[in-house]
Every structure is written in C-alpha cells, then in structure tokens.
Homo-oligomer: A and B are copies of this chain.
Amino acid sequence: MNEKNHENCPLTQALLVIGGKWKPLIISHLQKSPKRFGQLHTLIPKLSRKVLTSQLQELTRDKLITRHSYAETPPRVEYRLTEKSKELVPIFQSMSKWGMYLIDKKIIEEREDN
C-alpha cells in the first residue's frame, strides 16, 4: 500500500482479478480436484448458470483456471486451477479461518444478547 498510488497498487490489481463476488468461492472449490460445470453449480446453488459461465470465462481469460472440454455425450467440461491460482489457495484458507472466527464470535454475541 506504500506503493506509488492507486493505479499500480498490487492489492488493487489482485482485487481486479479475484474481487468478484463468487471467484474466491469457485477457486476454493477447485483446490482439491478439478470440477465440472454442473458440479460447481451444485456446490454453489445460489450462483446462477449465467453468472457461473461469466465468472469461469473471466477466470479463464485471466489464466487462473483452465478449461478442458471432452467430446463426449453428454458433453463434459472440467475446470482446474493453474499454478498462478494455486498460490491463492492458502490465502483463501486463512480468510476462511478468519471467517470461522467471525462465526464463533457471532454465536457468542447472540448468547450475550439473550
């Protein structure tokens, strides 16, 4: 953040690429093994197919995932992380850990409210 200014701030750059509402979630789901379009949709049901498509396209464009399409029928398409995005996994894990702490706190506060 000490950097020049707004423009070339690395954090801003990173957020441009992974700042989407669903992208961290998608990347997290791909961390263990490649997943198909339909699997991702099942894992994140609140995410519509249209938006899932667009997020996957953007992630592919930015080279955070690769798309492997198998000429089977019915068609099968798998998405997997690239080396670039594998480095993000521990970051999202930390964030997840922090989120868990948030949930705990929330439960405590709810208790105190009663």
Contacts and interface: CB of A to CB of B under 8 A. Distances in A.
Count of identical protomers in the assembly:
2
Interface in A81-96: 84, 87-88, 90-92, 94-96
B95 A1 contact: no
A14 interface: yes
Nearest to A45: B6
A25 B45 contact: no
Q: Which of under 10, 10 to 19, 20 to 34, or 35 or more describes the interface residues of A?
A: 35 or more
Given A6-B46, A88-B98, A91-B95, A1 B15 contact: no
Given A91-B91, A91-B94, A99 B25 contact: no
Given A95-B91, A102-B17, A25 B12 contact: yes
